[in-house]
Amino acid sequence: MLVTDVDVAAIAEAFGLTDPVGPVHLVRRRGQVEAWRILTGSGPVLIKRFWADDELPWQDQLELAMKIEKRAIEAGIDTPPPIEPIRPLFGSVARIDGHGLFRAFPFIEHQPLSDDDDIAEWVGTTLALTHGLQSLSSRPAPNWWYCQFPPVPAERWRQWLQEGEASGAIWAPALREHLNLVLDQAERVVSTFATSPPFALSHRDFEPWNVIMAGGQPMLIDWDTTGPESIPLEAAYVFVTFARRGRDEPDPHLVHRSHQAYVTAGGRPLAPRHGLLDRMIGYHLSKIADTLGHFFDTQDDEQKIRERIERLPETVTNARKWERLFE
């Protein structure tokens, strides 16, 4: 999509880019996050506005994420290095007054990861290297992937249900039907996280949409959500997620190959256990809570909320079934 409402001159000056010599193309827009491909005299550049205001409430989290991103590059993990701004606000972030906060990267010609791309060993190796970047000696608080950013106590679910029933929301009957399961699983995933060391600073959004194929080789992008994570829970989730691409069920052979590559690259073998895929359930609960609580800019419609609530029992069943792939 061609766009013209970008202050290209200010962006070029902020990152020391040579004058743009071509059009500006919007490549992503989700909430207040926007990204553009800009042609410059030094080649194409990806400009990402990740915050629309001039101040960032979670600056400390992003600073930590950028430190881990830098270590990942130094460790040889395949990921694009950021372009340093002329006058950084912090890390590799530039502020353009009145427009928000930006980062820049060399634009890499690529294709999205397809279901046919076989990257099982790369997934395991890359995740093992990521888990080795910064270990944690103490247990961190559970994060968004465990329905805890922000924390969602049991009473909040009941309140959402009361509000939904009072307003006639079409998702309310589904939440009423599955409320006990929601409360049980929400408590369980937090407990599982607390009893699943070791912990480390990790990418946390190692998903197929954050892997691109450049020159036939995969690259991991978007380290902005880096933070504390349970190593075994994230590893199990990632291996199963990538082995499910284009399938109703994860391919056991792909799970095994990723796991083996992970161990070969220094990762600790995953021990089979009940709850090993609770991160998958926590992710599902978080998607429901985000919308019911209006936590973020993007929101699902009521029909999609109902469908997601109705799919929770299937997600729990699949998690318990797919955990056996690690036996």
Answer for the pair 310, 224: CB distance below 8 angstroms, yes or no: no
Of 45, 74, 107, the last residue of a domain is 107
Pair (80, 168) in one structural domain: no
pLDDT digits (tens, 9 = 90+) for 189-204: 999 999 999 999 999 9
Is there a domain that residue 307 lies in? yes
Of 86, 107, 128, the last residue of a domain is 107
CATH number at residue 138: 3.90.1200.10
Q: What percent of the chain has pLDDT over 90?
A: 85
Q: What Cα–Cα distance (Å) separates residue 168 from each residue in 95, 138, 147, 301?
A: 44, 45, 25, 14
Statement: residue 307 has pLDDT above 70: yes
Q: What percent of the chain has pLDDT over 70?
A: 97
The mean per-residue pLDDT over the stretch 286-300 comes to 89
The mean per-residue pLDDT over the stretch 47-65 comes to 94
Q: How many domains does the chain have?
A: 2
Pair (56, 157) in one structural domain: no
Pair (11, 48) in one structural domain: yes
Pair (50, 158) in one structural domain: no
Is there a domain that residue 297 lies in? yes
Range of the domain at 257: 120-326
Q: What pTM, to 2 d.p., does this model score?
A: 0.95
Pair (93, 135) in one structural domain: no
Pair (41, 76) in one structural domain: yes
Pair (49, 71) in one structural domain: yes
Statement: residue 4 has pLDDT above 60: no
Statement: residue 3 has pLDDT above 50: no
Is there a domain that residue 112 lies in? no
Answer for the pair 10, 96: CB distance below 8 angstroms, yes or no: yes
CATH number at residue 10: 3.30.200.20
pLDDT digits (tens, 9 = 90+) for 100-112: 999 999 999 999 9
The mean per-residue pLDDT over the stretch 218-224 comes to 97
Contacts of 142 (CB under 8 A, 6+ apart): 148, 189, 190, 193, 194, 282
Is there a domain that residue 114 lies in? no
Tell me the C-alpha distance between 300 and 308, whole Å.
Answer: 10
Given this model, what pLDDT does residue 9 score? 84
Residues 107-127 as b/e (b if ≥16 CB within 10 A, e otherwise) read beebeebeeebebbbbbbbbb
Of 78, 107, 136, the last residue of a domain is 107
Given this model, what pLDDT does residue 21 score? 66
Pair (174, 315) in one structural domain: yes
Pair (132, 198) in one structural domain: yes
Tell me the C-alpha distance between 148 and 89, whole Å.
Answer: 29
Tell me which of 154 and 2 has the higher pLDDT: 154
* Long-range interactions of 72-78: CB distance < 8 A, separation 24+: 72/129, 72/130, 72/133, 72/203, 72/220, 72/223, 75/129, 75/132, 75/133, 76/129, 77/126, 77/129, 77/130, 77/220, 78/122, 78/126, 78/217, 78/218, 78/219, 78/220
Pair (72, 211) in one structural domain: no
Q: What Cα–Cα distance (Å) separates residue 192 from each residue in 196, 229, 274, 322, 327?
A: 6, 12, 9, 16, 18
Given this model, what pLDDT does residue 2 score? 42
Pair (145, 68) in one structural domain: no
- What mean pLDDT, rounded, does the chain reach? 94
**DSSP H helices in the chain:** 8-14, 59-74, 120-131, 154-167, 172-194, 231-243, 252-264, 278-293, 302-310, 312-322
The mean per-residue pLDDT over the stretch 229-256 comes to 98
Query: Which of 3-7, 19-23, 118-122 bottoms out in mean pLDDT, i.e. has the lowest?
Result: 3-7
Pair (92, 149) in one structural domain: no
Statement: residue 319 has pLDDT above 90: yes
